[in-house]
Chains A and B, each alone.
Chain A
Amino acid sequence: MSEVVDGTASAADAVAAKKEPKILVCDGNEAAAWGVVLARPDMVAVYPITPQSSLAEYVAQFVADGVLDAELVEAEGEHSVLSVLHGAALVGARTYTASCGQGLAFMFEPYFRTPNLRLPIVMSIVNRDGITPQCVWGGQQDAMTVREVGWIQLFCETVQEVLDTVVMAYRIAEDRSVMLPVNVNHDGNYLSNGVVRIELPDQAEVDDFLGTPDVNWHVALDPERPMGVDPLTGGATGPGPALFVGYRRGHCEGMQNALRAIVEIHEEWARRFGRRYAPLVEEYRLDDADCALVTIGSMAGAAKDAVDAAREAGVPVGLIRIKTLRPFPLDAMVAALDKARAVGVVDRAVSYGWNSGPVHQETLAALHYCQRRIPCLSLIGGLAGADLTQAHFARAIAETVKLLDAPCPRTPVWLNAED
């Protein structure tokens, strides 16, 4: 921060003092690693897994080169990775990790406990489809499978948004009214390895945005201030269920508080850094739309191109992109859905229980609160790294338009079935 010498410093000087952002040409994994550098975590623990591996390697290289002053723990597996970070977060450290797919599966036991311990850990999920059959490619089955574990889940569309969201995630996680872990999701393959031009925010400006870390007030393991963590609750002969219910209700309240925090923090980011992202639900060309596609993650780019092409051809269609899936942004989603008469939801994952997609199920739940009955079709694509192109979204739009005149099928459209 430059020192103000006297009272005559003009606004022009302030503008001149603002540094030109450095330009990077990099993929989403490198962008996430730069976001980690800017957030200055005290401890990083990682175990590599495709397509997250290069992210782990970038972070390790930054630590080795002195670009990032953090303790790096190369644990023997994902279960240990997150257990190590539990200890670090409990003593007040700012922490980071990244995983995906089978790595997340192996991490599940401590992953399950992280939000209940109210630890503000930030973790990238470089979304990968599930096995079997063998697959190391992108897909959102990993994140969708854990959407009821109690982490905040944000989904990025672009490489720049990956970097910006990793930084913002610390403010969200560490907000005193939230105190919950955040998953920043970016699609394996198309975002993890897709290279574009991005801007690297200035470190001093990010320091100013993040402020002094404030995570040591909560359940810190402090010899001067001993505190019981993770108490035994419930049971017929124990202290009764009230304490446990209190934990659960408090967790739900923290999640609801996060909706406000996510909006405010995105707003502040836009003010400081000039890049504005819809914090909860993005509405694209939705006013006067008959139909809307619901999308999530990197697919939205090609989907918006398809919406533009359909609009040029006279089809009144718009798009909804979910940035925040957990907590579910009910009000924002209902407001967006109310603008459409028919909806098609494109999922990059499968809901086996409902023969549709997870985001389709989320959308159906939100539609209950809409003013009128809106038909809602499930479309599933992009599994196992499959490409979702403008042509796929043109088809998704055409299938959604059919709902205006015909009954809505109860089975999904499989977009890459012929690819």
Chain B
Amino acid sequence: MYEVRLHGRGGQGTVLAAGMLAKALVAEGRHVVAVPQFGFERRGAPVAAYLRVSDAPMRAMTNIYAPNCVVCIDSSLPRVVDVFAGLRAGGLLVQASKHAPQDIAVPPTVGTVAVCDAVGIAREVFGRPITNTVMLGAFARASGLLSLEALERALAETSFRDGGLAQNRHALALGHERTVVHRVERKEAA
């Protein structure tokens, strides 16, 4: 079982991204449970979505408290939300940021940092900072959990409020292409 927690802000499409990810994973033969964190629909407010993936069916319809991976599709969110809460040792962070992965401050539980300048890509593609499909590309690249093609097909089944399918496919591809993955080196305890 592999557990992912997605962080974003209301209006960026965090929950929609979790839904597209779920569709793509099912198309690749996996089982998923994707449960959004429940909040009022408020643009800009922090939101989270949980996604559990496994080769076997799962029964528990619950939130996720110890994820293997955290995907943060907003660059300013780590300043207001503890996105690392409960992350498993050696966990993966996929962060929207224009900084180099070495320059992202992370706790010792993080084993791998992947960064993608999702805001820059989204401004280039949509003219607006809508980062969800960009970060799905980044997630596929960093996690190796699913193929870009499966995500493309999931996008094709989705109706978008911001941008059309072609734009979102482009955003997905650029997110995949321009993600930098960095394994965190840890000094052995003396």
Q: Which residues of A contact B (CB under 8 A)?
A: 23, 25, 51, 136-138, 158, 187, 189-191, 193-197, 298, 300-302, 304-305, 385, 387-390
Set of chain B residues within 8 Å of A190, measured between Cβ atoms: 35, 61-62
1/0 contact string of B21-55 vs chain A (CB within 8 Å): 01100100001111110101000000000000000
Rounded to whole angstroms, the CA-CA distance of A25 and B60 in the bound complex is 17
A301 touches B23 (CB 8 A): no
CB <8 Å contact, A305 and B60: yes
Decide if A302 touches B60 in the complex (CB within 8 Å).
yes
CA distance A190 to B35 in the complex (A): 7
Residues of A near B26 (CB, < 8 A) are 23, 25, 197
Q: List 10 A-B contacts (CB under 8 A).
A: A189-B38, A190-B61, A193-B35, A194-B61, A196-B32, A197-B32, A301-B59, A301-B61, A385-B38, A389-B65
- Please pick, from A136, A302, A385, the residue contacting B61 in the complex, using a CB distance under 8 A: A302
Question: Which residues on the A side are within 8 Å of B60 (C-beta)?
Answer: 301-302, 305, 389-390
| Bound CA–CA A314/B60 (angstroms) | 22
A387 to B33, CA, bound (A): 15
The answer on a CB contact under 8 Å between A305 and B59 is yes
B138 at the interface (CB under 8 A from A): no
B residues within 8 A CB of A301?
58-62
B63 at the interface (CB under 8 A from A): yes
Are B38 and A302 interface neighbours, CB within 8 A?
no
A25 x B23 contact (CB < 8 A): yes
A187 to B36, CA, bound (A): 14
Bound together, the chains give a CA A191 to CA B34 distance in angstroms of 10
| Neighbouring A residues of B62 by C-beta, 8 Å | 190, 301-302, 387-390
Q: Is the CB of B18 within 8 A of A195?
A: yes
In the complex, the answer to whether B32 meets A387 with C-beta atoms within 8 Å is: no
Q: Are A193 and B18 in contact (CB under 8 A)?
A: no
Interface of A, secondary structure class, is mixed
Specify which chain A residues have a CB less than 8 angstroms from the CB of B175 in the assembled complex: none
- Residues on B with C-beta less than 8 A from A138 are 38
CB-CB under 8 A from A191, the residues of chain B are 61
Nearest residue, chain A, Cβ from B25: A25
Residues on B with C-beta less than 8 A from A298 are: 61
- Please, how many residues of chain B have a CB less than 8 angstroms from a CB on the other chain? 20
- Give the Cβ gap from A134 to chain B, nearest Cβ, in Å: 10
Asked whether B19 is an interface residue with its Cβ less than 8 Å from the other chain, the reply is yes
A137 to B40, CA, bound (A): 10
Residue numbers of B with Cβ under 8 A of A are 18-19, 22-23, 26, 31-36, 38, 40, 58-63, 65
A194 CB contact (under 8 Å) in B31, B35, B65: B35
A195 touching B59 in the complex, CB below 8 Å, given contacts A136-B40, A385-B38: no
Residues of B within 8 A of A25 (CB): 19, 22-23, 26, 32
Q: How far is the CB of B156 from chain A (nearest CB, A)?
A: 13
**Across the interface, do A195 and B32 meet the contact criterion of CB distance under 8 Å?**
yes
CB <8 Å contact, B19 and A195:
yes
Closest residue of chain B to A195 (Cβ to Cβ) is B34
User: Chain A contacts of B33 at CB under 8 A?
Assistant: 194-196
Complex Cα–Cα for A385 and B35 (A): 12
How far does the alpha carbon of A390 sit from the alpha carbon of B66 in the complex, in Å?
Answer: 13
The reply to whether A302 and B59 form a contact with Cβ atoms under 8 Å apart is: yes
**CB-nearest residue of chain A relative to B31?**
A197
Asked, given contacts A301-B61, A305-B60, A389-B60, whether A194 binds B34 with beta carbons under 8 Å apart, the answer is yes
Complex Cα gap A158–B33 (Å): 11
In the complex, what distance in Å separates the CA atom of A387 from the CA atom of B36?
12
How long is the Cα–Cα vector from A45 to B58 in the complex, in angstroms?
34
B158 CB, nearest partner CB in chain A, Å: 11
Residues of B near A300 (CB, < 8 A) are 59
Give A187 to B38 CA distance when docked, in angstroms: 13
Q: How far is the CA of A178 from the CA of B63 in the complex (A)?
A: 39
Q: Which residues of B contact A388 (CB under 8 A)?
A: 62
Chain A residues whose C-beta falls within 8 Å of the C-beta of B63 in the assembled complex: 387, 389
CA gap between A238 and B31 in the complex, in Å: 63
Q: How far is the CA of A342 from the CA of B58 in the complex (A)?
A: 28
Q: Which residues of A contact B35 (CB under 8 A)?
A: 189-190, 193-195
**Given A195-B18, A305-B59, 19 further pairs, Cβ under 8 A:** A23-B26, A25-B19, A25-B26, A51-B38, A137-B38, A158-B59, A189-B35, A190-B61, A194-B33, A194-B61, A195-B33, A197-B32, A301-B58, A301-B59, A302-B59, A305-B60, A389-B60, A390-B60, A390-B62
Q: Which residues of B contact A136 (CB under 8 A)?
A: 40
* Closest A residue to B154 using CB positions: A25
Residues in A whose Cβ lies below 8 Å from that of B61: 158, 187, 190-191, 194, 298, 301-302
Q: How far is the CA of A270 from the CA of B52 in the complex (A)?
A: 28
Shortest B60–chain A CB gap in Å is: 4
Q: How far is the CA of A301 from the CA of B60 in the complex (A)?
A: 4
Closest chain A CB from B86 CB (angstroms): 12
Q: How far is the CA of A196 from the CA of B60 in the complex (A)?
A: 11
* Chain B: CB-nearest residue to A23: B26
Closest to A388 in B: B62
In the bound complex, what is the Cα–Cα distance between A51 and B31 (angstroms)?
25
B10 to chain A, nearest CB (A): 15
Most buried by A among B23, B36, B38, B40: B38
Residues of A within 8 A of B59 (CB): 158, 300-302, 304-305
Please report the C-alpha to C-alpha distance between residue A301 and residue B23 in the assembled complex, in whole angstroms. 22
